[in-house]
A and B are shown apart, each in its own frame.
Chain A
């Protein structure tokens, strides 16, 4: 276990170094982790205590069930300490100071120009970094200027070539530092040279682990578990953050949760960790828990916009209109031109059934970020509601092309095609979605329904799907009932009885009643009676008698039949002879 104190010192120094190099988002991230470390008793300030006390009561409610019980993964495991690099100059040059202020005013090209002949490492990095950002800015502008009738233009960052050449020259002479390596990795990645980019980034994080931006670039290159395993990374607590994140993106949610649990030992109050944990839990469909976590997060950090779209999804799933509108309002006031904010508002309108407005806000979100995956999928859902299937299909397909493992979009595609009366075509998409999430009963049920449509009528396949759904613990209980009915339809009464019994057990356990219950009871009673198992039949009949309606009459007649059969008289005679 790393000591909290050393962590704190490392981060403090790192923040300073990162902001000296204008790597602001990495510095921001580090700052969040810094205050996430449990209270330093030496500088106790009243504001800090208030901040921490606010969360502790809620934490207690949840920390009992898991985090303590799991054994700490690396107790006694000595992490290799990476020494903090010394700054190469204690006094910053005048030109550096000027350039930094230009940079802070977003005049990147000017900043880069000022530093063109500087030799200190910090200045050299800032020179290249500013050049890179200048190129990026120009690229964004050109993209809009050049947008042709066929969509995207070929705008690229025109500085990449010279940057690559200069940085590789630096690297060859060994004059490059870890920040330069990070920038080099980014440039290589944009040029499409992924293996080299990974190598460069790994080198960067091994020599300077506190740069979260480098870690996230590295994560975006690890598209499979194999690449992740192949990375040769030094042990450092930052590596755990990275692994947690990477596991999550690779849909290994339990592994990711374990990592975050471990990290929470040190960074007990980190908002970041809490949000990530909530994300993982969301993927595991623990909505109640996620909601509480987000509530707490908002209480600690009321103006947070990141990850709030996920919270809105939870609220949407729970149909909490008021809470959702409150969230939307709050985020709207904080920063209305964030894709997350637009997405939240879109979710709100969707919940209210105003689909046109919802689409408008999702569109806005996509305008802000074209690769915003969930907005595409959600927009597809809206179009489905609006019965505009081609548009829905288009939206889903874009989501799938951004991230091929997005099972929701695959599922949406299948649904859309099924709606259009093309069940056979839809099957392919359902299969795809199930491939990415094989243990979700809803997907299996959707596929089974597709097989069941009158156009296909492939009942055997439907039965197979329902069986899979039952194995995946179908919470809504559709599968058992359908299985029973299908078997009944195919004349396999033994199987049908088996599934009706199971369904009945389930309904009893959950305390449900309804037409399904009557159906099961009536079938079972008749079935057992036909098979001369009168005792069982009687049990089911008496259960039916508890309810009013036609079922009761049916039960009565069944009972009568059973009695007659038991007494051995042929029932026909009794009908004819009045007693």
Chain B
């Protein structure tokens, strides 16, 4: 349990540090000449100095470079004197023949430090200030060495031997390890005949194994080994921007194998030297990030990480965070039992006090441990695995325990998790769950609806998070609040008696406010000195930055830079924005997109989604990325037609193959349904609709919104099949459902649908009130686009009453035109154009012969748009009208053309088979 506190920040002498010391000796020899021997210019000297500075900065990194890598880097830095430098380095090492030499070496090191009170410094004199970065490093090394017992010195000595030996034999290492593997596999088959490997490699293997390292891939088949190699090198290269696509992974592998940094090497490193806590913690943090961002890409195998973690756990059994990482890993590979096991083990060992950055390390809580965090994690785990009831029970317990121990931080997080759980579960299932719960928080509000409970939980969480200054939680709560405001319709709180206004409304201003508040996080974050920065990863970034200007980069530097903007690149290195923060900000953009979509501005929605996809695509969680793709595809379907949308969908399907496909599947069904409806293939549409309905009722509960959508689509099919009374029946029952479950926003579209039904059935008088009601709903909920389309329907209804209302209809249409043309999709626009033409044509005061262009322009526009949409019914109507107009004008040729177009569409509408083929 006390693994962390015992020797936090220990500094161990390693061979690599000794090489840095040797270089330092060259840089600032004790003789204090004006410019030491090998350097020919001051700039050369300074360059080595800078390099040494970056080396000392990066010595907290978990991976220490091998001697060979160091020499390679020196080659880049040292230019013409590199040979001298390397020679000196290796000679110095080979001169260490006994432990006593080490002792003398460190005594010499003391000499290069200037005395702290030597006030007089001559101009050209080179003195290593003991308080400078380099001086501190030397002092730390000397101190650490002096603290070593004789056994420790012996171990250091033998590890130096290995360090040098590896450098000598590194060229043969790859073959060696392969042969090693080969021999082992044969060995397993008890096939002793093929044991004859050439002497040298066997010798090498012996050395390596005898040096105290357990070969990592001892029993892993070669394929896995390869995968690990790719991944870990990917991690090494740059965890934040590590490549998502397969192609890039291979690129990274190539680079890394060139610089001979394979998994095996790093692990040999691992087992040779002891690491400080800080290094390992930093490394684990990176791994956790990697697990999260990589879980969607198929090339990321969780088993490799798992075996690596197992190895780490063997090496450091008191490092409990490894258990947590294993839990994360299992969580992402959907292994319920192993995840549960590891989670519990982690909290049993660490009592939740190790490695949780959200907890301020205060002394008074250590007595009881922090098991409430365990409950919180357990609850979230159950939720992820689809046990909402269990999750709720556990979270309730977490609330109780954190209240008992007055751990407000945890309480805030738990409440946020709970509200998230409730809002995600859907309404119908949640109410049954809440009935059985005895939570103090939820039971106070037992009479409230689920939405209200979500609201209360969010408010409570936000209040606590605000007072505790948990910026990320505040931000995510604001986002959740925005989501809530977006989805849920406000009702006046005091609505008693007959006089009470029953007006519902939504409030876009508050949504905007919440989103803005959430986005403040980024400015806050860069100004505060964050607790999240991990020294290990930061220091490795240092080294990478430094290498950029010189020579060919050792690591693949520019693979990701094309994608992410320079601003974030900059942030990555200097401020090091943690993945979670950029994820949150990304989510705020997505939410913006959703809200614009909702309020009816497709271009704004598209823009925000694009911002998200370009800036945050790298750091996003896969579900968010999926959502972004979804939105873009939807946009394509609306504005570019189905063909493009399906092409994009195919790409998205490949990308999100490993993740639960439900969202993509949903989108696919929706698109197929719409297309089938347009093409008049009602059977297919019905099938899609049924599948959609099936998706609505999962094992987790009933998703009411999806269910409503399914029946809405069903009504559309009935409408297209001209079964008006049945369609109207469905519409009515749908309205009742919406009313019952408080789905206010859906009501507006249901009303519009009813109006449409009456319009189509030729019952315009009946349709009018529905259209008007829909408009008033849209008005109070700020659904601008829907309102425009309702207005269009209203105008159509007026026209249906007789041609003497054409003027009024035209006025209505023109009122809605800006909205429709600016934000509406292809279908809506085409409908508006056709209707405009219709209006003109039916207006008795309008003469075709004088003003034909007004009508023809609209119709041409409409038919163009409908062409890409493959909406045969409307396209036929447009061509029909066009033909009629041409006929009136006497333009026979064009009339024939329009007529043949009309025929084509009608035939396509009646024979929808060919469409079905390429869809299935």
A residues apposed to B, CB below 8 Å: 145-146, 148-156, 158, 161-162, 168, 172, 192-193, 196, 389-391, 393-394, 396-397, 401, 413, 417, 420-425, 428, 455-457
Cross-chain contact of B371 among A161, A172, A420, A456 (Cβ < 8 A):
A420
- Nearest chain A CB to B3 CB, angstrom units: 6
A145: chain B residues at CB < 8 Å are: 149, 151-152, 155
Known pairs A192-B219, A420-B371, A422-B397; A393 contacts B351 (CB<8 A) = yes
Name the residue among A151, A153, A172, A428 with the largest chain B CB count within 10 angstroms: A151
B187: chain A residues at CB < 8 Å are: 168
Would you call B6 an interface residue if the criterion is a C-beta within 8 Å of the partner chain's C-beta atoms?
yes
Known pairs A150-B277, A152-B316, A162-B206; A423 contacts B397 (CB<8 A) = yes
Provide the B593-628 mask, 1 if CB < 8 A to any CB of A, else 0. 000000000000000000000000000000000000
- Tell me, in angstroms, the Cα distance from A145 to B155 when the chains sit together: 9
Determine whether the beta carbon of B3 is less than 8 Å from that of A396: no
Cross-chain contact of A425 among B149, B280, B374 (Cβ < 8 A):
B374
B151: chain A residues at CB < 8 Å are: 145
Determine whether the beta carbon of B348 is less than 8 Å from that of A152: no
Determine whether the beta carbon of B371 is less than 8 Å from that of A150: no
Known pairs A150-B277, A161-B209, A196-B188; A390 contacts B369 (CB<8 A) = yes
A192: chain B residues at CB < 8 Å are: 218-219
- Tell me, in angstroms, the Cα distance from A156 to B367 when the chains sit together: 37
B319: chain A residues at CB < 8 Å are: 150-151
Name the residue of chain B whose CB is nearest to the CB of A398: B349
- Nearest chain B CB to A34 CB, angstrom units: 37
- Tell me, in angstroms, the Cα distance from A490 to B206 when the chains sit together: 72
Cross-chain contact of A424 among B6, B212, B393 (Cβ < 8 A):
B393
Determine whether the beta carbon of B374 is less than 8 Å from that of A149: no
Cross-chain contact of B344 among A155, A161, A423, A428 (Cβ < 8 A):
A428
- Tell me, in angstroms, the Cα distance from A149 to B438 when the chains sit together: 44
30 residue pairs from A and B, CB less than 8 Å apart: A145-B151, A146-B274, A149-B3, A149-B6, A149-B277, A150-B280, A150-B316, A151-B3, A151-B316, A152-B318, A153-B315, A154-B212, A154-B213, A154-B314, A155-B212, A158-B210, A158-B212, A168-B192, A192-B218, A193-B188, A390-B351, A390-B369, A397-B348, A417-B371, A420-B368, A422-B371, A422-B375, A424-B397, A428-B344, A457-B438
Determine whether the beta carbon of B374 is less than 8 Å from that of A148: no
Determine whether the beta carbon of B317 is less than 8 Å from that of A397: no
- Nearest chain B CB to A312 CB, angstrom units: 27
A161: chain B residues at CB < 8 Å are: 206, 209-210
- Tell me, in angstroms, the Cα distance from A457 to B351 when the chains sit together: 26
- Nearest chain A CB to B416 CB, angstrom units: 20
- Tell me, in angstroms, the Cα distance from A150 to B2 when the chains sit together: 9
- Tell me, in angstroms, the Cα distance from A149 to B3 when the chains sit together: 7
Provide the B213-257 mask, 1 if CB < 8 A to any CB of A, else 0. 110001100000000000000000000000000000000000000
Query: 6 closest pairs, A vs B, by CB?
Result: A151-B318, A150-B316, A397-B348, A149-B7, A390-B369, A390-B351
Name the residue among B195, B218, B280, B371 with the largest chain A CB count within 10 angstroms: B371
Cross-chain contact of A401 among B7, B192, B345 (Cβ < 8 A):
B345
A153: chain B residues at CB < 8 Å are: 274, 315
Name the residue of chain A whose CB is nearest to the CB of B1: A394
Determine whether the beta carbon of B371 is less than 8 Å from that of A152: no
With A154-B314, A397-B349, A420-B401 already in contact, 8 other A-B pairs whose C-beta atoms are closer than 8 Å = A154-B214, A154-B315, A156-B212, A192-B219, A390-B351, A421-B401, A424-B397, A425-B378
Interface residues on B, range: 35 or more
- Tell me, in angstroms, the Cα distance from A512 to B70 when the chains sit together: 82
Determine whether the beta carbon of A150 is less than 8 Å from that of B212: no
Name the residue of chain B whose CB is nearest to the CB of A454: B438
Name the residue among A156, A196, A424 with the largest chain B CB count within 10 angstroms: A424
B369: chain A residues at CB < 8 Å are: 389-390, 393, 420
Would you call B566 an interface residue if the criterion is a C-beta within 8 Å of the partner chain's C-beta atoms?
no
Determine whether the beta carbon of B349 is less than 8 Å from that of A394: yes
Determine whether the beta carbon of A152 is less than 8 Å from that of B315: yes
Would you call B90 an interface residue if the criterion is a C-beta within 8 Å of the partner chain's C-beta atoms?
no
Determine whether the beta carbon of A148 is less than 8 Å from that of B274: yes
- Nearest chain B CB to A388 CB, angstrom units: 8
Provide the B797-834 mask, 1 if CB < 8 A to any CB of A, else 0. 00000000000000000000000000000000000000
A162: chain B residues at CB < 8 Å are: 206, 210
A396: chain B residues at CB < 8 Å are: 348
- Tell me, in angstroms, the Cα distance from A493 to B212 when the chains sit together: 71
- Tell me, in angstroms, the Cα distance from A425 to B374 when the chains sit together: 9
- Tell me, in angstroms, the Cα distance from A396 to B219 when the chains sit together: 32
A193: chain B residues at CB < 8 Å are: 188
- Nearest chain B CB to A158 CB, angstrom units: 5
- Tell me, in angstroms, the Cα distance from A420 to B365 when the chains sit together: 13
Would you call B918 an interface residue if the criterion is a C-beta within 8 Å of the partner chain's C-beta atoms?
no
- Nearest chain A CB to B393 CB, angstrom units: 6
B209: chain A residues at CB < 8 Å are: 161
- Nearest chain B CB to A422 CB, angstrom units: 6
Determine whether the beta carbon of B318 is less than 8 Å from that of A156: no
Name the residue of chain A whose CB is nearest to the CB of B276: A149
Cross-chain contact of A390 among B1, B214, B316, B438 (Cβ < 8 A):
B1
Determine whether the beta carbon of A455 is less than 8 Å from that of B397: yes
- Nearest chain B CB to A428 CB, angstrom units: 7
A457: chain B residues at CB < 8 Å are: 438
Would you call B523 an interface residue if the criterion is a C-beta within 8 Å of the partner chain's C-beta atoms?
no
Determine whether the beta carbon of A390 is less than 8 Å from that of B375: no
A149: chain B residues at CB < 8 Å are: 3, 6-8, 10, 274, 276-277, 318
A152: chain B residues at CB < 8 Å are: 314-318
- Tell me, in angstroms, the Cα distance from A394 to B276 when the chains sit together: 23
